[in-house]
Every structure is written in C-alpha cells, then in structure tokens.
C-alpha cells in the first residue's frame, strides 16, 4: 500500500475561530458575559447553575443554554428559575458554536448580563471548541479525585477558572484542595481557583462575586476610549 502525506498549509479551523471571535465581540459589546461551564459528567454543573440563578434573582439577568447527548432533564430543572434552552447533540460529546447560536436564537437572543453555556459532561472534547465564551470555567468535584488536572491538561490549560465542587463531602473523601490546586496551576499558573458546595449553598456568594468582577471588568474593557 502506498502512503501519501498531504500537507495542509492553512488552519482548517480558521473560519470557526473567526465566527467565534465575531460572536464574542457582538455579545461582549452589548454587555453580555458568556461563560462556558465544563466538567466531567455529574460534577455539579446544573446544581451550581440552579444556585447561581437563585443568588442573582432580582439582581442580575441570566439565561442558560444547556447541552446534553439526549433528554431535556437539565433544562427542566433550570427553566423554573431562568430562561433556558436545551441543546441536544444527538450523541456528539461536545457543543459547537452553530448549535449554541441556534439555542440563542430560540431564546430570543436576550441581552442578559450573564449567558451560561453548560457543556456536555466530558473533560476531553469540549476543551477544543470555542463557543464564543468570555470565560471558561472547569469544575472538579471532590468525588472525582484530586489527580484530574494533570490527566486532562487541555481542559485546564484553556480555562480561566477552576471551581472545586461538593466540598461538603471533603470530610469523607481522600481529596486535597491544595493538591488539585497545585496540579492545575502546574498547567495553568494564572488559573483562578474557587471552592464551594452548591447543594449547601456554601461558597456560592463568592462564586457570584467572582462572576460580578469578571462582568465589571468586561464592561470596562468594551467601554474604554479607543487608543489614538
């Protein structure tokens, strides 16, 4: 069998990257902070979004696009709290921008302060897809073990923040907050680290304060006078 090597001299993802950059700019300019929430299955993404919605009720506006392979179970949990659209990938292990944009249209493209995208539970593939987010947040739950950053480095390298979830279970598990933080910062030294229990609503106000800071920072960046 003859073997041929084809050298591709252009970035095959260039169009997707440009579309994501344009959508990020559009949403940022109008005052919406887009947050891509990633984790392994069951780390507590939907539970954290429920707690976040309760915290921001009456203070900040938010909407959620929630991705899953099948079912609208997460959307059913969130819809009583905030405008939510379920994105069903039909088997794909991650979300891509066109599906996110369809979801945004289905929501009516609301000019909310925070647009959360709950990605499909998976620490691998979602790391490679830009969904036009301004902030990428990876959750690690205490039940998963504190060795995950080094094993799934791209997810942590491409995130701005890591949230350690289910801290109420720390007394029962061999999980070290210091070890997981050190492991993650070996990969991404600038990583912001928070820890909380969404179930017990402990640490949720610090998380929301962090989001508020990111929101204010973005508003200031888009409204800075243009450099002459």
Ligand X SMILES: Nc1nc2c(ncn2[C@@H]2O[C@H](COP(=O)(O)OP(=O)(O)OP(=O)(O)O)[C@@H](O)[C@H]2O)c(=O)[nH]1
Residues in contact with ligand X by the rule CB under 6 A? 39, 41-47, 74, 121, 165-166, 168-169, 197-199
**Whole-number minimum distance, CB 71 to Mg ion, in Å?**
10
Whole-number Cα distances in Å, 167 to 54, 143, 216: 19, 9, 28
User: How many angstroms separate the CA atoms of 92 and 68, rounded?
Assistant: 9
8 A C-beta contact, residue 155 and residue 123: yes
Alpha carbon of residue 6 to chain centroid: 35
Q: Based on the shown chain and the rule CB under 5 A, indicate whether residue 45 belongs to the binding site for Mg ion.
A: yes
Whole-number Cα distances in Å, 89 to 179, 187, 198: 34, 30, 26
Question: Which residue number, 56 or 207, has a Cβ lying nearer to ligand X?
Answer: 207
Question: Which residue number, 193 or 199, has a Cβ lying nearer to ligand X?
Answer: 199
- Residue 158 contact among ligand X, Mg ion, none, beta carbon within 5 to 8 Å by kind: none
Question: Which residue number, 103 or 121, has a Cβ lying nearer to ligand X?
Answer: 121
Question: Which residue number, 179 or 199, has a Cβ lying nearer to Mg ion?
Answer: 199
**Whole-number minimum distance, CB 120 to ligand X, in Å?**
7
User: How many angstroms separate the CA atoms of 63 and 58, rounded?
Assistant: 13
Q: Strands (DSSP E) along the chain, which ranges?
A: 33-38, 62-68, 84-88, 114-118, 135-141, 161-165, 192-195
With tokens 């794909």, the residue in question is 92
- Residue 43 contact among ligand X, Mg ion, none, beta carbon within 5 to 8 Å by kind: ligand X
**Whole-number minimum distance, CB 185 to ligand X, in Å?**
23
Question: What is the layout of strands, in order, in the sheet containing 161-165?
Answer: 84-88, 62-68, 114-118, 33-38, 135-141, 161-165, 192-195
**Whole-number minimum distance, CB 186 to ligand X, in Å?**
25
- Residue 166 contact among ligand X, Mg ion, none, beta carbon within 5 to 8 Å by kind: ligand X
Q: Based on the shown chain and the rule CB under 5 A, indicate whether residue 50 belongs to the binding site for Mg ion.
A: no
Alpha carbon of residue 171 to chain centroid: 27
Build a one-symbol-per-residue string for 58-97: x at contacts with Mg ion by CB under 5 A, - elsewhere: ----------------x-----------------------
Q: Which of 162, 174, 96 is closest to 135 using CA atoms?
A: 162
Using CB under 5 A, pick the residue from 40, 46, 122, 159 that binds Mg ion: 46
- Residue 39 contact among Mg ion, ligand X, none, beta carbon within 5 to 8 Å by kind: ligand X
- Residues that bind Mg ion in the complex, under the rule CB under 5 A: 45-46, 74
């Amino acid at each position: 069998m003859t073997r041929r090597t084809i050298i591709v001299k252009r970035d095959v993802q260039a169009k997707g990257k440009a579309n994501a950059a344009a959508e990020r700019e559009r949403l940022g300019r109008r005052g919406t902070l887009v947050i891509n929430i990633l984790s392994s299955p069951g780390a507590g993404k939907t539970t954290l979004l429920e707690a976040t919605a309760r915290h921001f009720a009456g203070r900040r506006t938010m909407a959620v696009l929630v991705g899953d392979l099948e079912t609208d179970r997460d959307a059913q949990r969130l819809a009583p709290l905030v405008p939510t659209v379920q994105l069903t990938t039909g088997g794909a292990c991650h979300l891509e921008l066109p599906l996110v944009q369809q979801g945004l249209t289905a929501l009516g493209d609301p000019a909310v302060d925070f647009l959360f995208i709950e990605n499909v539970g998976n620490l691998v593939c979602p790391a490679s897809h830009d969904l036009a987010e301004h902030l990428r947040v990876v959750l690690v739950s205490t039940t998963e073990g504190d060795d995950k950053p080094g094993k799934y480095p791209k997810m942590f390298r491409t995130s701005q923040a890591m949230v350690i979830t289910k801290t109420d279970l720390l007394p029962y598990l061999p999980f070290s907050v210091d070890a997981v933080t050190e492991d993650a910062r070996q990969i991404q030294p600038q990583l912001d680290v928070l820890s909380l229990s969404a179930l017990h609503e402990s640490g949720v106000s610090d998380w929301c304060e962090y989001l508020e800071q990111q929101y204010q920072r973005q508003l200031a960046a888009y409204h800075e006078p243009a450099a002459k």
